[in-house]
Amino acid sequence: MNKLKKIFKSIIEIGLHQNVNQKEVKKIKILNFSSFFMGATLLISLTLKHINSEFSNFLTIIFLIESILYFSVLFFNYSKYYVTARFLFFIYFTSILFLHNNFLFIGEYTEYYYIVIPIGSLLFFESKYVHYSLLIIVLILFYLPNHFLNLYEENNFGFFHVAPFFIGVFIAVQYYRNENLKNESKLKEAYVELEERKKSEYADLKLKSLRAQMNPHFMFNALNSIQDLILKQDTDASYDYIVMFAQLIRDSLNYSNHDFITLEQELNFLKVYLELEKLRIGNDFNYTIDFKEDESIEVPSLLIQPFIENALVHGLIHKKGSKNLKINFNITNNILECTIKDNGIGRKKAKEILNRQGNHHQSFALQAIEKRLEVFYKKYNKNVGYKITDLYENENPIGTKVVLTIPYNARF
């Protein structure tokens, strides 16, 4: 029994492959079943007729040819000529039915089977022209042969009620099919919407998680700075640092709950952070923040600070003399760019220092930012990313430039 099921399944799935969509899969399976069923039915009928000695050699040959024609549809599906297979099936079915009705089995009222043809076309073809063309053809095939061949008496043949019956059944099935297609379309739209919502919710959770991970990292670095000042016994600077640190922590915790904050809030946050670093590094450190646009915009919260921290910790803090940091915002062609430029020792020298100190790990903050940018790109489909360039003068490193492309929302 299991072997028969496997054989039947393999016949039904002839011509299927991974690239076929679900809608086509149904059509292929139904066509395979119909072709196999019709071919097998003819062979079974032929066998039973021969047992009862009711068939001539002529009819035997006709039935064998008809079976081969139906089975050939499976071959076309196997060869992936799906549309050709469908048209051939309807041509074979219509032609064979016409032959049986008008020449081989006259008077058995099998003409009513013609209704199957336009109804079946609703399953296999999307074009209304095909549907209505087949309906007209079967109505012609139902009436015209009897007009010329006088196969039935007109009173018994049902001239007046068959056409409305055919058309009524066809329209009813077509309406039911269209309603199903509409429901399938609505279900598909709802499924797509649900998937998009799930992706959006996942992105939100991931962003919140990444921001939450950055908070303790940022606090740890800030507390280290306070420790440095205390060890230097710089009481006034320590007090000022703690006051600003408290404000920074409050803003950090508050902004971490938002995907976007106003650029003004982001700039104020950066200014407090840079003032804190100035207290730690000393008066040799100077910074400028430039944003000349009048447009009021929102930017991702706490996205820029890790790049500034990277410039300070790895570039400027090891430099002797004047330490300068320039932060510039510019909107061009609806793209917001933040350029962070320092005159530090450069990435190559910074890497050598890290290697001497035995510190080989990548900045956690930058790792988290890369993940955030990736999530932002997937969620908002906006141009995001960053590019780091080493600056040289006469082949000597004179600093680093970071160009950060930031997604933003205009405020109205």
Q: Where exactly are the structural domains of the chain?
A: 2-157, 194-410
Work out the burial of residue 257: count CB atoms within 10 Å of its CB; fewer than 13 is exposed, 13-18 middle, 19 or more buried.
exposed
Mention every residue, 6+ apart, whose C-beta is less than 8 A from residue 85: 15, 31, 35, 73, 76, 77
Q: Is the pLDDT of residue 381 over 60?
A: yes
Choose among 316, 266, 312: nearest CA to 291. 266
Q: Is the pLDDT of residue 231 over 90?
A: no
Domain 194-410: give its CATH superfamily.
Histidine kinase-like ATPase, C-terminal domain (3.30.565.10)
Strand spans (E) along 255-334: 260-262, 285-291, 297-300, 323-332
Q: What pLDDT, on the 0 to 100 scale, is given for residue 93?
A: 93
Q: Per-residue pLDDT tens for 9-36?
A: 899 999 998 888 888 898 999 999 999 9
Residue the block writes with tokens 């050598």: 352
What percent of the chain is modeled with pLDDT above 90?
25
Q: Which helix (H) or strand (E) holds 358?
A: none
**Model pTM score:** 0.51
User: Which pairs with CB-CB distance under 8 Å and at least 24 residues apart come from 141-148?
Assistant: 141/94, 141/98, 141/111, 141/114, 142/111, 142/114, 142/166, 145/98, 145/101, 145/102, 146/111
Q: Is the pLDDT of residue 53 over 80?
A: no
What percent of the chain is modeled with pLDDT above 70?
84
Q: What pLDDT, on the 0 to 100 scale, is given for residue 160?
A: 59
Q: How many other CB atoms are found less than 10 A from the CB of residue 90?
A: 19
CB 340 within 8 A of CB 402: yes
Q: Where is average pLDDT lowest: 347-356, 360-369, 403-412?
A: 360-369
322-336: buried (b, 16+ CB within 10 Å) or exposed (e) per residue? Answer: ebbbbbebebeeeeb
Q: Tell me the range of 53-57, 198-202, 209-213, 340-344 where mean pLDDT is highest.
A: 340-344
CB 96 within 8 A of CB 104: no
Give residue 250's pLDDT band: very low, low, confident or very high (50, 70, 90).
confident
Residue the block writes with tokens 């004047």: 322
Q: What pLDDT, on the 0 to 100 scale, is given for residue 296?
A: 82
Q: Where is average pLDDT lowest: 17-21, 162-166, 289-293, 376-380?
A: 376-380
CB 263 within 8 A of CB 298: yes
Q: Tell me the range of 127-136, 207-216, 253-262 where mean pLDDT is highest.
A: 127-136
Choose among 142, 92, 133: nearest CA to 115. 142
CB 362 within 8 A of CB 336: no
Give residue 210's pLDDT band: very low, low, confident or very high (50, 70, 90).
very low
Which SS3 state, helix, strand or coil, does residue 345 take? coil
Choose among 297, 316, 319: nearest CA to 307. 316
First to last CA, the chain: 71
Pair of tokens at residue 136: 């007209």
DSSP 113: G
Q: Are strands 297-300 and 396-406 parallel, antiparallel or unpaired?
A: unpaired
